[in-house]
Amino acid sequence: MMSTIPAAGPVACEICLKEIPRSVAQSQEAADYVYYFCGADCYQQWQARPPLRHLGLIVNGLELDFESAQALAQAAARRLAPDAMLLAWYDRPRGRESPEVPECTRQPGWLAYAESHGGDIRVDINHGEYVFMFNPG
């Protein structure tokens, strides 16, 4: 099984991002990743989270700029949740992201931000050219 977690050293709690010694962390194995928690409270919060809904869009024959990508993503997210609110995004062509927060141990900051703010709708355009995270509202 593949894992990007180093074999030793502290790990970050999945929910509060606090660094904890691996020996006291509670862990939960998922399909291809081990999640760590500082304690039972964070573990319960993680368990109660709604599952991520992942939409993938492919656009051919059209040069997508950020504005049109965002409009497409918004339309798609609102099919799932009429009040979907954009939380975070990644724009690979321009190398930009929002919000700009420090990278956490296992994923980019903007993604960690979205996941910790109820961002459970992910819209992926052209295999990660643009990624938008929405809160269902």
Q: Write out the residues near Zn ion by the rule CB under 5 A.
A: 13, 15-16, 38, 42
Measured in whole angstroms, the distance separating CA 43 from the mean position of its chain's CA atoms is: 18
Cβ of residue 40: shortest distance to Zn ion, in angstroms? 10
Neighbours of 36 (CB within 10 A): 24
**In Å, how far are 15, 22, 25, 119 from 18, measured between CA atoms?**
8, 12, 11, 20
Please report, for the chain, how many H helices and E strands are present, in that order: 3, 9
> In this complex, which beta carbon is closest to Zn ion, that of residue 16 or of residue 81?
16
| Nearest distance in Å: CB 37, Zn ion | 6
Considering the complex, state which of residue 13 and residue 86 has its C-beta at the smaller distance from Zn ion.
Answer: 13
Considering the complex, state which of residue 13 and residue 125 has its C-beta at the smaller distance from Zn ion.
13
Minimum distance, C-beta of residue 29 to Zn ion, in the bound complex (Å): 18
Find the shortest distance in angstroms from Cβ 112 to Zn ion.
13
Strands 26-29 and 130-135: unpaired
Q: What is the DSSP letter of 53?
A: E
Q: Are 13 and 36 in contact (CB under 8 A)?
A: yes
Q: Which is nearer to Zn ion, 15 or 111 (CB)?
A: 15
C-alpha span between 103 and 25 (Å, rounded): 21
Q: Give the residue with the Cβ less far from Zn ion, 38 or 73.
A: 38
CB of residue 51 vs Zn ion: minimum separation in angstroms?
20
